[in-house]
């Protein structure tokens, strides 16, 4: 049995905290408790489906008090009757079959739950329960206690029920139904030999085919007509126009043919075309369904806050009801929802969301505190200055950059070509018509319509979605998630890359710590470690993990002064850990470092300096990227890291420090005005404006479910060093698309030669079009897979 | 050969019946999530011990 990893959650076990229960090893009490719950209820087969599927439950006391508020609960429920309530909860931890199993067996843990169903792709669980026996809050507590804490955000609160749109499935079904039946019914005419019986029943078959084509023409293809009409109204020529044109011309020509008996018409090609187009569209949608990029800034704010009423009673109110002058209670780890004034004597606020700095900022009573910070430590009281819609962060979000539709900034490669496709096509058709009109008027019409029919825009319409969809899938499987296919094209065009420093090229997970000063004896180390144990401060936690194992000591006195340090008395010694001034050491003012000083029994020993730890493979990545792109680094931090960065980056790369969020955005704009195509790699809310402004914004994330909504792509932190590979793959994707356009051009030339010579038989059209579609789709899929493997090896 | 009218009509009607079944199936919502059922069906049903005891006792009674 693997004893170094927790049986429940799979994370490394710190020997000091190890708990052994039922002959299994757990990393903490939380994991052991979940295991206990499962084995007591006979549900230990949770562990059979996947190794270490669990998550350590987090302490959520007080966090869900807003669920006591009836109005909020009402908005969150899907269905609300006397005896039954149904709620859909978003649970980020759903990731494997064990999760599905346990969540669908919730009724064994809580009898009031009658039924629960998981939607794996959306990471949602739909729970049906009896409100008389349990409440939504209890269910949320239950879920959290087993490590499946739901993620409840303002979105759930605001939007009404979204109706599931199945129209594409219906259209596809209709299209295939018509296509299949028409093909079968066309067989007699294909194998046309002038047989007597065929002449007799020809009319029957033809009109039947006509009737079958109607649903496909009117219903299934309706999307294309609407899109083409809209695009014509705005004066742009996009890909839907030749498709809609082709379909309509085919229909008219075929109807004319049947009515006047010229031929069997092209209904088989028509329905075939509609079917393949819709299939392509469905494929596109399936590829995007995993990630939801629709979160806006509201997701970062707590749904409800605790307000202290004038009679000092606490009540939870929805965030939009917070008004100026309200007094709010903010607990440990809670976000500050709006700008206000601090009432409590002292507060320590972590603004890493906004500034990127992990070190909390100390505020004292009367100071203004800004929204977006997270309170660390004691409970604080604040008075609201501005309601939510006016806070600083909202201003950043409301920056017109967000409102701008990114799509309009960039014309996709398909749109570029379709701009020329339709006019050229019409030109050829006119020329053919003009040529034949002097020879035979019938053939002239024949040729005109044949040209419009056979010039298959399907290659154009299908190449991009299939190639890009495939590449999207390949990238997604390697933890690089793009917002949509357009991003791939934009990636291929980038020439400048701007990196944010904190959290992007540095990792927040490990920070290397060095010590300067008098060496500690083992006894002293024991003292320090024990004192650190009582503190929740990020630096204390990092230092605690860094120091070696020691025995436990009892602490007699312990006082933590936010922003200053810790004062403790243990084992007869007085220990002071913290800032230089706190421990009584004079520090030269211009020294820029994050350091923790130690004094024991009044004697100064030294300081621990926290160095930024750069991500693995960074130097290699910079070298690789430096060959093709201009690299720049922007940072909200101080100049301390300049020399290190100059070493890592290619010569002459720009390094700018002390940048505020707006300044980062301005910098990107400035580069773009110089004609550069900029890609920004960042991580948090503070570079959100810059991420949206840049041509491509990539957000590096340690946890894929928490990211900036302004970005175009998310890259998992572990795969950061492969950025060069991803960039090359996107370029190869564009190459593949160009190659397949050439291939389709070949088909078109062949088809047009048939059309212009007046020889386009329905049979020929019926063969060429599906053939070209299938070969193009297979070609792009194979090529993109081939490139993905080939350039990996480089 | 005029029976072909009847045959084709019948086959079209059968095809339409299948099509209606398709519409009904999609409407019931079973295709909205096409991944989870594939995992769900692999879960083993556990035999409930109490049920076994009950069947045993009823058997004894009939004998």
Q: What are the tens digits of pLDDT across the range A247-305?
A: 888 899 889 988 988 878 889 888 988 888 888 777 767 665 544 333 333 333 334 56
pLDDT in tens, A177-194: 999 999 998 888 777 666
Cβ–Cβ of B40/A104 closer than 8 Å?
Answer: yes
Q: Tell me the average pLDDT across A500-514.
A: 71
pLDDT digits (tens, 9 = 90+) for A22-70: 888 887 777 787 888 888 888 877 887 777 777 777 666 667 777 887 8
| Nearest chain A residue (CA) to B19 | A177
Chain B interface, best mutation among A38, A94, A118, A172, by max B CB count within 10 A: A118
Q: Which residue has the higher pLDDT, A169 or A690?
A: A169
Q: Is the Cβ pair A121, B8 closer than 8 Å? A: no
Q: With contacts defined as CB-CB under 8 Å, which chain A residues touch B47?
A: none
Residues A5, A22, A29, CA angle at the centre, nearest 5°? 60
> Does A111 have pLDDT greater than 80?
yes
The three-state secondary structure class of A396 is helix
- Local confidence band at A637 (pLDDT 50, 70, 90 cut-offs): low
Structure tokens at A289: 């369904």
- Number of Cβ pairs closer than 8 Å across A and B? 54
pLDDT of A509 above 90: no
Most distant CA pair in chain A: distance in Å? 115
Cβ-defined contact of B5 to A170 (cutoff 8 Å): no
Residue A582 or residue B18, greater confidence: B18
Cβ within 8 Å, pair A121-B33: yes
Q: Which of B5, B8, B26 sits opposite A169 (nearest CB)?
A: B26
pLDDT of residue A746 exceeding 80: yes
Q: How much is the pTM?
A: 0.60
Residue of B33, B43, B44 with shortest CB distance to A119: B33
Find the CB nearest B39 among A100, A185, A201.
A100
Min Cα–Cα distance to chain B from A245, Å: 28
**Which pLDDT value is given to residue A396?**
44
The C-alpha of A466 sits at a distance from chain B's nearest C-alpha, in angstroms, of 21
Q: Tokens 């060496």 — which residue?
A: A519
Contacts of B28 in chain A (CB under 8 A): none
Of B8, B32, B36, the CB nearest to A100: B36
Residue A538, pLDDT > 60, answer no
pLDDT for residue A60? 67
Average pLDDT over residues A378-400: 61
Instruction: Tell me if A185 and B42 make a contact (CB, 8 A cut-off).
Output: no
Of residues A49, A101, A120, nearest to B35 (C-beta): A120
Greater pLDDT, A207 or A761: A207
Weakest mean pLDDT among A77-81, A563-567, B50-54: B50-54
CB contact under 8 A, B36 and A118: yes
pLDDT of residue A209: 93
User: Which among B8, B33, B42 is the nearest to A208, CB-wise?
Assistant: B8
Question: How many contiguous H segments (helices) and E segments (strands) does chain A have?
Answer: 27, 28
Confidence band, pLDDT 50/70/90 cuts, at residue A84: confident
Residue A766, token pair as written in the block: 């019926």
Residue range A675-706, pLDDT digits in tens: 889 999 986 545 667 887 888 888 886 643 33
* Of A351 and A568, the one with more pLDDT: A568
Contacts of B12 in chain A (CB under 8 A): 181, 208
A743, A466 Cβ separation under 8 angstroms: no
Q: Tell if the CB–CB gap between A201 and B1 is shorter than 8 Å.
A: yes
Cα A190 to Cα A143: distance, rounded to the nearest angstrom? 63
CA-based nearest distance B39→chain A, Å: 6
Q: What is the mean pLDDT of chain A?
A: 78
Tokens standing for residue B59: 């058997």
The three-point CA angle A54-A55-A59 to 5° equals 140
ipTM entry: 0.74
Instruction: Note the pLDDT of residue A172.
Output: 93
Q: Do B27 and A166 touch (CB under 8 A)?
A: yes
pLDDT band at A393 (very low <50, low <70, confident <90, very high): very low
Shortest CA gap B36–chain A (Å): 5
DSSP A215: H
Q: Is the pLDDT of residue A551 over 80?
A: no
The pLDDT > 90 percentage for chain A reads 7
- The pLDDT value given to residue A463: 79
At residue A530, the pLDDT reads 79
The pLDDT of residue A394 is 47
Instruction: Work out the minimum CA distance from B13 to partner chain A, whole angstroms.
Output: 12
Name the nearest CA neighbour of A129 among A98, A121, A137: A137
Beta bridge partners of A499: A633, A681
Chain A residue whose CA is closest to B6: A204
Any bridge partners for residue A340, and if so which?
A: A369, A384
Residue A312: predicted pLDDT: 64
Question: What are A242-256's pLDDT values in tens digits?
Answer: 788 888 888 998 899
A97/B1 touch (CB, cutoff 8 Å), yes or no: no
Confidence band for A747, pLDDT divided at 50, 70 and 90: confident
- Nearest residue of chain B to residue A44 (CA atoms): B46
Residue A541 predicted with pLDDT over 80: no
Residues of A in contact with B8 (CB under 8 A): 185, 204, 208
User: Hey, which of A94-98, A312-316, A479-483, A667-671 has the most confident mean pLDDT?
Assistant: A667-671
- In sequence order, the β-bridge partners of residue A700 are A715
pLDDT category, A357, cuts 50, 70, 90? low
List the single residue in A with minimal CA-CA distance to B12: A181
Ranges of residues in chain B whose predicted pLDDT is under 50: 50-63
**Closest Cα of chain A to B32: distance in Å?**
8
Region class of A578: left (phi > 0), else alpha (psi between -120 and 50), else beta:
left
How high is the pLDDT of residue A74? 80
pLDDT band (50, 70, 90) for residue A727: very high
Residue A666 has pLDDT above 80, yes or no: yes
Query: Which pair of tokens denotes residue A399?
Result: 């920056």
CA distance A118 to chain B (A): 7
């Amino acid at each position: 049995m693997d004893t170094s990893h927790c049986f429940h959650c799979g994370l490394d076990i710190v020997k000091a905290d190890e708990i052994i229960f039922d002959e299994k090893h757990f990393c903490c009490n939380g994991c052991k408790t979940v295991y206990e719950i499962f084995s007591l209820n006979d549900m230990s087969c949770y562990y059979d489906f996947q190794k270490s599927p669990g998550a350590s439950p987090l302490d959520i006391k007080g966090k869900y008090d807003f669920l006591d508020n009836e109005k909020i609960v009402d908005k969150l429920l899907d269905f609300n009757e006397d005896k039954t309530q149904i709620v859909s909860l978003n649970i980020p931890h759903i990731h494997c079959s064990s999760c599905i199993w346990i969540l669908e067996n919730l009724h064994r843990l809580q009898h009031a739950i009658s039924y629960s169903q998981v939607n794996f792709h959306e990471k949602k669980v739909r729970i049906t329960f009896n409100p008389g026996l349990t409440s939504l809050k209890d269910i949320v507590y239950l879920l959290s206690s087993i490590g499946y804490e739901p993620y409840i955000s303002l979105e759930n609160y605001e939007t009404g029920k979204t109706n599931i749109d199945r129209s594409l499935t219906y259209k596809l079904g209709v299209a295939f139904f018509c296509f299949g039946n028409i093909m079968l019914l066309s067989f007699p005419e294909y194998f046309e030999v002038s047989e007597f019986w065929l002449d007799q029943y020809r009319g029957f078959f033809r009109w039947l085919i006509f009737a079958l084509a109607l649903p496909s023409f009117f219903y299934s293809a309706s999307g294309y007509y609407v899109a083409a009409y809209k695009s014509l109204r705005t004066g742009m020529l996009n890909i839907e126009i030749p498709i809609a044109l082709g379909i309509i011309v085919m229909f008219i020509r075929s109807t004319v043919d049947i009515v006047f008996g010229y031929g069997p018409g092209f209904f088989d090609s028509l329905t075939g075309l509609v079917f393949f187009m819709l299939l392509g569209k469905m494929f596109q949608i399936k590829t995007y369904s995993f990630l939801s990029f629709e979160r806006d800034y509201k997701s970062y704010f707590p749904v409800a806050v605790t307000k202290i009423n004038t009679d000092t009673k606490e009540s939870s109110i929805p965030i939009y009801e917070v008004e100026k002058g309200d007094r709010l209670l903010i607990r440990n780890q809670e976000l500050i929802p709006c700008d206000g004034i601090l009432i409590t004597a002292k507060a320590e606020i972590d603004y890493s969301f906004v500034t990127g700095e992990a070190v909390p900022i100390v505020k004292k009573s009367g100071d203004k505190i800004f929204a977006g910070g997270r309170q660390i430590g004691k409970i604080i009281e604040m008075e609201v200055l501005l309601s939510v819609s006016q806070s600083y962060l909202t201003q950043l979000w409301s920056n017109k950059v967000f409102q701008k539709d990114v799509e309009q900034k960039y014309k996709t490669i398909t749109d570029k070509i379709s701009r020329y496709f339709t006019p050229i096509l019409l030109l050829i058709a006119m020329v053919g018509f003009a040529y034949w009109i002097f020879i035979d008027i019938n053939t002239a019409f024949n040729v005109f319509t044949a040209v419009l029919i056979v010039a298959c825009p399907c290659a154009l319409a299908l190449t991009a979605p299939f190639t890009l969809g495939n590449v999207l899938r390949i990238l997604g499987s390697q933890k690089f998630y793009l917002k949509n296919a357009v991003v791939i094209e934009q990636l291929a065009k980038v020439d400048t890359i701007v990196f944010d420093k904190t959290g992007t090229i540095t990792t927040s997970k490990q920070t290397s710590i060095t010590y300067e000063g008098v060496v500690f004896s083992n006894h002293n180390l024991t003292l320090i470690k024990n004192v650190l144990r009582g503190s929740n401060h990020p630096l204390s936690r990092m230092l605690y993990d860094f120091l070696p194992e020691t025995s436990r000591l009892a602490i007699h006195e312990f006082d933590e002064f936010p922003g200053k340090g810790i004062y403790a008395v243990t084992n007869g010694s007085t220990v002071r850990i913290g800032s230089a001034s706190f421990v009584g050491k004079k520090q030269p003012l211009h020294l820029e470092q994050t350091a923790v000083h130690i004094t024991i029994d009044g004697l100064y020993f030294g300081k621990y300096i926290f160095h930024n730890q750069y991500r693995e493979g960074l130097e290699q990545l910079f070298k690789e990227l430096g060959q093709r792109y201009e690299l720049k680094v922007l940072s909200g931090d101080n100049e301390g890291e300049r020399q290190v960065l100059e070493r890592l980056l290619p010569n002459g790369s720009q390094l700018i420090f002390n940048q505020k969020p707006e300044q980062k955005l301005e910098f990107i704009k400035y580069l773009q005005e110089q004609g550069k195509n900029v890609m920004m790699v960042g991580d948090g809310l503070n570079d959100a404006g810059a991420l949206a402004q840049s041509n491509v914004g990539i957000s590096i994330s340690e946890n894929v479910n928490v990211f900036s909504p302004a970005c175009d792509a998310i890259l998992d932190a572990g795969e950061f060093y492969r950025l060069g590979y991803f960039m090359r793959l996107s370029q190869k994707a564009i190459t593949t698309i160009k190659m397949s356009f050439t291939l389709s051009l070949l088909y078109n030339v062949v088809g047009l030669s048939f059309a212009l010579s007046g020889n386009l038989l329905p049979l020929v059209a019926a063969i060429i079009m599906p053939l070209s579609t299938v070969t193009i789709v297979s070609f792009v899929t194979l090529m993109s897979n081939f490139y993905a493997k080939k350039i990996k090896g480089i | 050969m005029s029976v072909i009218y009847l045959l084709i009509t019948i086959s079209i009607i059968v095809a339409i019946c299948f099509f209606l079944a398709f519409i009904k199936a999609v409407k019931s919502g079973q295709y909205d999530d096409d991944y989870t059922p594939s995992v769900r069906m692999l879960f083993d049903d556990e035999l409930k011990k109490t049920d076994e005891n009950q069947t045993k006792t009823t058997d004894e009674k009939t004998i």
